[in-house]
Amino acid sequence: MLSPNKMQSSPSPSSGKQAAFSDECWSEDASDTENFVKTLYRIRGKGVRPDHIASIITHYASKCLPALAGDDDTQPAAGSGAAASRRKKRRFIETLVGILPQEKDSVPCGFLLRAMRVAGEAGTEAGCREEIERRAARQLDQAPLKELAALDFEAVVRLVRRFLSEEEVSRSGAALSKVARLVHSYLAEAAVDRNLTLPQFVALASAVPCHARATDDGIYRAIDIYIKAHPGLSKQERKNLCMLMESRKLSTEACLHAAQNERLPVRAVIRVLLSEQDKLSRHIDWSGSLAGPRIPGVGLAAPVRCLSKREVRQQIEMRRLKEDVAILQRQCLIMERQIEKLLEKKKGYFSWKRLGGAVFKASKIGETVVGASSPFHSGGSRT
């Protein structure tokens, strides 16, 4: 039997295997890509888990190519050096994609997004880029916003659509909700770009289905930022943007902000106020039904439960909010009527001006004609 000292000093089989595993992995022979691939295949043959294999690959790739680690501060080479560097990048990325484990969630999504960006810059083969994009889209619910924002807009749209086309998405509501929040956050950051067109914004925003959005506060924030960054939008374009969100899915804070937002169309504000009033009415009715008398049987009336101070305060606050919403609704209706009256007055003024000008010109022409044919004209004589 071994003594405690010998048990502590003697390495366990697992620790020896781990030490040999580490030495074999990070030996000098693995510095070259080909030797690293051979070493990796030997390690994989020992039954190492796919996530550990992926960890080795991502660590090695990040050391060889800093852009894959997210800290690419190196200055790009110029001339022939740039072409050689690009060829090396292309070969390295294509080799890397070929040895990555195929199991889902084995490779971090952030690493795949960085590899997707570098592959596009290096001009890798279409099949290589397609494979990286497919794997990144499959794990889009785990994507960091920072890495997603580094991609071009069209690539993000492709990723979202590919993710939504997966069969597994229909069975995972949590993943859908995460992607919806991610898309809304991405749109809020991309909305400040003056070069982002309205069709592009609408295409990405409408790609996320309505049932995936538990709340529309994120899309409302993105819409507000886009309208603010693009002041040249027409009234109809702003209406189309507001149609992307559902008023009933806005929180109370978002509704209050929208009610005071001068950038939104009047009809959108009214729709938000009506939705909030409907929610408050339902909440008050529901609270009243709980607090009111209950009749469990015929001829038997349950005793009325006394409301607590907290419930009384809540009902008072809800009534006050309902009154405020009603006041805002009336003000919006008055403003809309005033705007319509002003537009009608402007139309009437311009039409009267055109009509008056025409009558004035006709009268002048008539006077001239009559004066010329009159016998009492100073320069005329009768024959």
E strand segments, the chain: none
Per-residue confidence (pLDDT) for residue 29, from 0 to 100: 36
217 pLDDT band, cuts 50/70/90, is very high
Greater pLDDT, 345 or 146: 146
Q: Token match 């189309």: residue?
A: 240
Per-residue confidence (pLDDT) for residue 218, from 0 to 100: 95
Per-residue confidence (pLDDT) for residue 111, from 0 to 100: 94
Most confident of 142-146, 248-252, 277-281, 354-358: 142-146
How big is the chain by its Cα radius of gyration, in Å?
Answer: 36
Most confident of 53-67, 75-89, 271-285, 361-375: 53-67
CA distance 280 to 91: 61
CA distance 222 to 184: 7
349 pLDDT band, cuts 50/70/90, is low
Per-residue confidence (pLDDT) for residue 65, from 0 to 100: 87
Residue 54 located in a structural domain = yes
Mean pLDDT value across residues 122-149: 93
Per-residue confidence (pLDDT) for residue 18, from 0 to 100: 40
The CB density around residue 289, as the number of other CB atoms within 10 Å, is: 9
Greater pLDDT, 77 or 239: 239
Residue 165 located in a structural domain = no
Greater pLDDT, 65 or 196: 196
Residue 161 located in a structural domain = no
Greater pLDDT, 327 or 364: 327
From 131-135, 261-265, 340-344, the region with the lowest mean pLDDT: 340-344
Residue 67 located in a structural domain = yes
Residue 254 located in a structural domain = no
CA distance 50 to 48: 7
- DSSP codes joined into one string, 44-110: HHTT--HHHHHHHHHHHHHHH-GGGGT---PPPP-THHHHHHHHHHHHHHHHHHHHS--STTSS-HH
8 Å CB contact between 146 and 174: no
Q: Which two tokens stand for residue 121?
A: 């810059």
The type of residue at 340 is E
The structural domain count of the chain equals 1
Model pLDDT for residues 6-33, shown as the tens digit of each residue: 333 334 444 444 433 333 443 333 347 8
Structural domain that includes position 32: 19-71+87-138
CA distance 122 to 88: 9
Average pLDDT across the chain, whole number: 76
CA distance 137 to 163: 5
Per-residue confidence (pLDDT) for residue 327, from 0 to 100: 79
Q: b/e for 129-142, b at 16 or more Cβ within 10 A?
A: bebbbebbbbbbbb
Residue 64 located in a structural domain = yes
Per-residue confidence (pLDDT) for residue 77, from 0 to 100: 54
Per-residue confidence (pLDDT) for residue 36, from 0 to 100: 86
Residue 50 located in a structural domain = yes
Per-residue confidence (pLDDT) for residue 75, from 0 to 100: 52
The pLDDT > 90 percentage for the chain reads 36
Residue 23 located in a structural domain = yes
Mean pLDDT value across residues 34-46: 87
Mean pLDDT value across residues 192-196: 94
Mean pLDDT value across residues 336-348: 76
- Partner residues linked to 281 by β-bridges: none
322 pLDDT band, cuts 50/70/90, is confident
The pLDDT > 70 percentage for the chain reads 69
Cα–chain center distance at 372: 75
Residue 250 has φ and ψ, to the nearest 5°, of -85, 145
